[in-house]
Structures are given as C-alpha cells and as structure tokens.
Structure 1
Amino acid sequence: MRSRGRYHRAAGLVVLRTVWIAVCLAVLVISGIAWSTVSTISTGVERSYAIPDDAPRSGSGRNILIMGLTTRLDLHGEPLPDDVLRRMQAGESDRGGYNANTLILLHIPVSGPAVAMSVPRDNLVPLSSGGEGKIKEAYGRAKIAEEDRLRASGVHEKRELERAGREAGRRAQVQTVSAFLKQPIDHLVEISLIGFFHIAEGLGGVDVCLRGAVKDPLSGADFPAGPQHLDAAQALSFVRQRHGLPNGDLDRTKRQQAFLAAVSKRLKGADLTVVQAMIDMAKQDVVLDARFDLSEFARNLPSEVRFETLPVEGGAKVGGQDVNVVDPDKVRAKVFELATAPPPPPPNDGVPCVD
C-alpha cells in the first residue's frame, strides 16, 4: 500500500470545474445582478431530471453535487470546433470520456459560510449499478449501459442516445455519491472542460505569478518566472500542469487555488460585459437539475465558500488499476464535521506566487 501522504496530496486537488460555482457566486454578489437577469440565466441553462421529485432532501441547508466531466464534446455529444480544441491544447474530441473526474459536494448551511468538499475521483466505492469501481466511473458506466439498452430496443438517433445516456449517468453519479457519503443530494451542477476555458476567456484571461519558469509539452505550459497575464488557453495549461513541478499534484492544487484568487480579483472590477460572458458560458456549458431555482439561490448566497478535501487511507492495485482505499465511516464523519463547523478560510493576500 502506497504512502498515505502521497494519496492525500493527489486527493487534494481543488479541481478547476469548481470555478464555475465560485464565479457565479462572485458575479451575482459583486455585480448586484438583477433578479430578472438571474431568471434569464435560469431559463437558458439546460436542465436535468436526474434527481426525482421524491428524492430525499437535506433537512438543514442544501447539498449541491458539482460534477466536472473530462469529455471534450459539447452538451449534445458533438465535437467541439477545431479552432477551440486547438486553443484549448487539451487533445482531440475523442479524449476524456465521461468520467466525473471532479466531484464536489457543496454544502450551503442555513447561515454561515458554505463548504465545498472534494471527493477524490479514484476512491474505490460500491457503484449504484452494482459492484465496485472508482467513484468517477459511475457516470460513464451508466451512460454506456443505457445507450446499449436503447440500441437493443431499436433507438439509433445519436442525440436521443446522448441525452438519455447522460441522464442515466447523472442519476448513477448522484446515487453513488449520495450512498457513499450518506448525504442527500438536493441539486446538481454539471460542467465539462470547455466550460473552464470559456470562464477564462470571458474574463479576458487571468493574472498569475510563478516562482520559476516552466515548460511542459503535455499540458502546453510554457511560462517565464514572475507575474504575468495568461489568456484562456494559457490559463487552462497553467492549471492542468503537474509534470515537471517539484511536488506534482500538490503544486497543481496550489495553481488551481491561485487561479481562484485571480478570478476573484478580476471580478472585483467586473463590468456588464464580463457578467454577460458568464451568462453566455452557463447557457452553453452547464447543466442544472430541474428544481434548481437560481433566483432563490442568489437571494440566499453565502458570503464565503471554503474548499476542503475528504480523506483517503492510502492506495492499492485492483484489477490492474490504482485506486484510493477509503474508510467510509471516517469520510462520513468528516462530512458531518465540515458541514457543522467548517474551518476558517486562509488569509487572502491577492494572487499568490506558486511553483
């Protein structure tokens, strides 16, 4: 079994798709956006019925499951334009699959700060479809199974298969995470890799600071040392890089936190053009559950969102794959602890310099 410290660092990724929630919170608060505009966002975003009306609900506060997919396809399963893929520098459209590589339970209490709890993607858990697997695989496995079932029944229209398959994936992912954490899921937010790119693009890029020059052909990162402004493609490379850094995933975690700080700083001077860019991004890159009322959400926004990572015990090989070994009781105790008494936020000194 590999060292616990190594897996704690790998589990510690504050993964880039969480930025969408942070951006929405900041845009709504900082811009004083009108409820009519919030309503426009709410009606323009694609909706999911993966959480049924009779599903268990939180008794105090709300739990929102944020799912970040690795797919390079759009919401309808169509390839992204070649020029977008080229600017993203994240590979071809057939890369990524439908793993939910980002899983975050965002707990919003009745009062006080919210806490975003990252669920490490390689945790070995019971899947809602049966058997064990990495928690991130619940979505993709269910999607494939549903599409196979529909094809066997005579359905072959591509978009219909994509829609039904992704709904099955969302249901499976919600059920798997809910059962693992023993927490009801009130709402879901889904976003894929292109959403992050559009966030950085809509903001006109972000400011970062590097302690030393880096060059990594795998992520496309090629930056000098010191403060600098990154465009959308460079920002994506900045947060994706882990090869060639002193502490690998640990340094990538710090970069993602630095990106969040940069986004927050940028939004303090946000104008209506930036707000509109965020709205446009949400309409093309985001899926919300059918009951998610953004107007109500905006009226009850927490003043702070704090990021934490749920614990793992170590690592093992199962079926030739590396997995995280977890103690469900310890994980659930940590969720309860964070939901009832989240830790204080770290000091905010602007955009930090990172490796």
Structure 2
Amino acid sequence: MLLLAAGGTGWYLINDLEGDIATSKALPSSTPRSVDGSTNILLMGLDSRKDQNGKDLPPSVLKALHAGNGTIGGYNTNTLILLHVPKDGSRATGISVPRDDYVDRPGFGPGKIKEAYGLAKDREETRLRSRGVTDELVLEREGREAGRRAEIETVQKFLKVPIDHFAEVNLAGFYHLAGALDGVEVCLKKPARDSYSGADFPAGHQTLDGAQALAFVRQRHGLANGDLDRTRRQQAFLASAAHKLRGQGVFGTMSRLSRLVDVAKKDLVVDEGWDLLSFVREASALSGGNMQFHTLPIAGFATRNGQSVNLVDQDDVRVFVQQALTRPAATSGRGPAAPAPAPAVDVLNGTGKEGLARQTIDALVAKGYRKGSAGNTAIAKETSVHYGAGARREAERVAQLLNGVPVESDDQLAHGRLSVVLGGDFTVPTPLRPSPKQPLPQGISAKGIPCVD
C-alpha cells in the first residue's frame, strides 16, 4: 500500500482495496497523534508462519520460504519501522527499531521489544479461554488485537512520538511483494550463504524472486552485525522496491498494479480509521522514492534472562528520533537547506525547589536550544511549555524532550519565543547525547540500489 503511494497513481485501485483490506481497531484512542499535519505510521512485520486467520501457510509456500513449518516463529514483530511522512512533501523518513532492543513493555516489564505482541496475544487468549471461549477464530482475532495494542503502546512509549496509523504484514509479505514486482534488485558487498534462511547469493547486483527476497531480508547468521545488518537489508529491499516503482514504469502496467493490490489484500492489516485514498493523494513525500531510512542507535550488548539483547540509552534514542524527523530536507540547489536558528527558551521554576530552572536551561542548551532567562514563578501543579506566534512546532519538540508535557499558546510571548513552566510533576532531564548539532549517521536512501553486507 505504501509502495502504491510512492508511485503516486492507482487511486481507483485503492478504492477497491479499501473494501477488502483487513482492518483493526487496535490503535488505542489514548495514543498521541500528530498535530502538525504530518503522519507517523508504525510498520510491523510478524515472524509468523500463519495467515490472518491463524491457519498455517500452505506447505508449498513454507517450503519456498525456507522458513520451517507453522509451529515456528510465533508472533514476534521482527520488523518494526516508524515511517514519518511530512505534510509539506519534503523527504519521508523511516526509522528501524532493532527487534532485540531491551525496553520497558507496559504490562510485561523489561524485555525485547519484539516480544510485546506475542506476550499480549497469549495473555488475551488465556483470559478468553478461562471464560469459556473455544472458537479458534475468535481467539486468534482477539489475541492479535491485544498483540497489536501492546506493540503500539510499547513503541510509542519508547520513542515518545505520536503514532497516527499502523500497518501489519506477515512473513509471506516480502515473498508476495517481490513476486508482484517481477523481482527486486539488490546489491551485496560480498557473497552470502546461510543454511538457516536459505540465503545463497554472490556479491554484486542481482534480481531476487520471492523466495530469494525473503532469504535476503531474513538472514542474520554469518553477518558481522547480526540483526543490525539484517535491519539494513530490510531497508535496502524497501528502497530498491521504491526505486523500481519510480524508474521502471511498474505503474504503467495494469497487471502489476492489480498484483500489488492483491498483495495488500492477502498480507496486510491496517487500522480501521485510516483513509487510504486520502493518504495516497497526500503522501507526496513518498513520490519519486523521496525516502531516507535510519536505524536506532544501541548502547551495547548484554545477556538478560538468558537472552542476548541490545542495550539502549532511552534519552539518546529519543534525541536521535527527533533529529531524524526534523532534519531539514535537501533543497533543489547544491546543498541542504540551512536549518533555522534554534529558538531561545526561558524557564520559570514553579516547583518551590531551588536551582531547577538553571539546570533545565543547561539541559535544553545541551540539546541545541539558545539560553533564555531563568527565574521563579508561582507554585504550579504540572509542567507546561508556552509559545509565542510561529513557535508551536518548536514548543512541541521541547515538550517531547521533557517527557511529553502539555503545550499552550501565550500572546504575551514574543514571536518565536518559548517559555517552560516547571511544575510539581517535573524531574530534571539529563543532557542528551548526541547533540542535535551533530550529523545523523549515514542512512539508506530510496533513490537507488544501496549495497549492503
């Protein structure tokens, strides 16, 4: 469905798609939504050998996928990508969340982020069985809805960003997508062979069919960085698919358009409130493959409860995400657009505790903002960010850095000025790294065929 948007055509097919695509009510109403006109979409790829009704995929498909039988895989979200589509049509950004990141999972405690879905699904099915529910289709449907809710909540709380929509695809989705596109070209820096995934590729550029594509995006054994290299392969696959749609006239062929829609009907689940037709019309940032992929940073590796996990610095992750989502797009000239100067931020201490205003300003300066004034004010119950004319977006960024506090307009503030009022609920933020002034690590662009390990 996102690739249809990337092509900028096929709207009438989306109309047909909306009548048949599987939908879900799992996006919690309490989940924060974007307020600036942009769209954040959480893409979830399930490592499940089941179809949408919980039935095993056909043996012929499982054999082609080199993925074992229907008892393997469970319901882990082995692929998690936050796709940010700006309202103004500038570059879209995809941020991959490594599946083994060790995070807090609401209701289940700390553990791998990929497991929130399966844990919630199992718990819900157990609860329903205890109440006498025996219909397997009902158990599967309600279990998956619980899994989706848990995964969305876990990612949202980890990244501290709004989530407007989500899309879920099963393991066979890559397989069917590559087939619908008549193969996808990839590039490997060196030969790759892995008996677990079935990968057996020479170095260089090559076109993969459905089974090969799945082996390409699933391989992690034999790669220097394991799952992190696999994440880059997933990004490279999506970038190459977008490149093919743009450059090779895929949308000029009715049969290919129809096959893409069939893939969506077969493998995709989206949230019930998503107006797909409007999204395709408005998602100009995806046209021409104008996308950039990044991967969240990790702080190291460790063993927790007998499992290998990625350690993460939550503050670093949130700064990285904000940096990636607000990085200025390239202009049509020779270089990137110059970023607007960071606004000055005043801080008023309404906690009754000495020194918090100065500490908070120092923390915000470490994040790239200019130093304003610090002082005291009347005791406030909660922390809030106030903004003058033209500064709402910056106020929302500061609010996210302060753990999602409310924002309010203030006619008394000068144009572009920000003011933070500290309340009794406030804790001083740790100065975050990397500084917003540092460049982002090189990402994968969807404007060509990237070569990966």
**CA–CA distance in 1 between the matches of 2:103 and 2:97?**
11
Deviations 1:113-159 (A, max 9, x none): 11111112222222121422211111111100000000000001100
Superposed CA offset, 1:164-194 (max 9, x none): 0000011111111111112221111111111
1:134 aligns with 2:120: no
Tell me if the contact between 2:292 and 2:446 (Cα under 8 Å) persists in the aligned partners.
no
| Structure 2 residue corresponding to 1:44, chosen from 9, 16, 20 | 20
Alpha carbons of structure 1 residues 188 and 349: separation in structure 2 relative to 1, 3 Å? closer
Q: C-alpha distance in 2, partners of 1:161/1:306?
A: 38
* Partner residue, 1:314: 300
Supply the distance in 2 between the matched residues of 1:131 and 1:249 (Cα, whole angstroms). Answer: 23
Which residue does 1:159 correspond to in 2? Answer: 137
What TM-score do you get using the length of structure 1 for normalisation? Answer: 0.85
- Hey, what's the Cα distance between the residues in 2 that align with 1:195 and 1:54? 29
- 2:256 corresponds to which letter in structure 1? V
Contact 2:184/2:240 (8 A) holds in 1: yes
2:65 matched residue in structure 1: 88
Residue pairs, 1:294-309, within 5 angstroms: 294-301=276-283, 302-303=285-286, 304-309=290-295
Q: Which residue does 1:59 correspond to in 2?
A: 35
* Alpha-carbon distance in structure 1 between the residues aligned to 2:224 and 2:107: 39
Letter of the structure 2 residue corresponding to residue 290 of structure 1: E
* Structure 1, 72-81 or 206-215: larger mean CA deviation: 206-215
Equivalent residue in structure 2 for 1:113, among 88, 91, 101 = 91
Q: Distance in 2 between matches of 1:255 and 1:51?
A: 28
- Match of 1:136, SS state, is helix
The structure with the larger Rg is: 2
**How is 1:1-355 mapped onto 2 (pairs within 5 angstroms)?**
21=2, 23-27=3-7, 29=8, 32-34=9-11, 36-53=12-29, 55-60=31-36, 61-111=38-88, 112-210=90-188, 212-245=190-223, 248-249=226-227, 252-253=230-231, 255-267=233-245, 268-270=248-250, 271-301=253-283, 302-303=285-286, 304-341=290-327, 350-352=448-450, 354-355=452-453
CA separation in 1, counterparts of 2:447 and 2:164?
34
Show structure 1 runs of 5+ residues with no match.
Answer: 1-19
Contact 1:67/1:104 (<8 A) preserved: yes
Greater relative CO (CA pairs within 8 A, separation 6+): 1
Deviates more, 1:315-324 or 1:157-166: 315-324
> When the two structures are aligned, how many residues end up with a matched partner?
331
RMSD: 2.3
The structure where helix makes up a greater share of residues is 1
Q: CA deviation at 1:243?
A: 3.0
* Residue of structure 2 equivalent to 1:11: none
**Once the two structures are superposed, what CA deviation does each residue of 1:180-230 show, in whole Å capped at 9, x if it has no partner?**
112221111111111111001111222344555443222212234554433
- Contact 2:235 2:293 (8 Å CA) reproduced: no
Identity of aligned pairs, percent? 50
Distance verdict in 2 for CA 1:38–1:125, change over 3 Å: same
Give the gaps of 5 or more residues in structure 2.
Answer: 331-442
Does the CA contact (< 8 Å) of 2:83 and 2:92 recur in 1? yes
Query: Residue 103 of structure 1: SS of its match in structure 2?
Result: strand
Partners of 2:187 and 2:93 in 1: how far apart?
26
- CA spacing shift, 1:321–1:146, aligned 2, 3 Å: same
In structure 2, relative to structure 1, the CA distance for the partners of 1:299 and 1:148 (3 Å cut) is: same
The alpha carbon displacement at 1:274 in A equals 1.1
Check the 8 A contact 1:138/1:176 in 2, yes or no. Answer: yes
SS in 1 for 2:200: strand
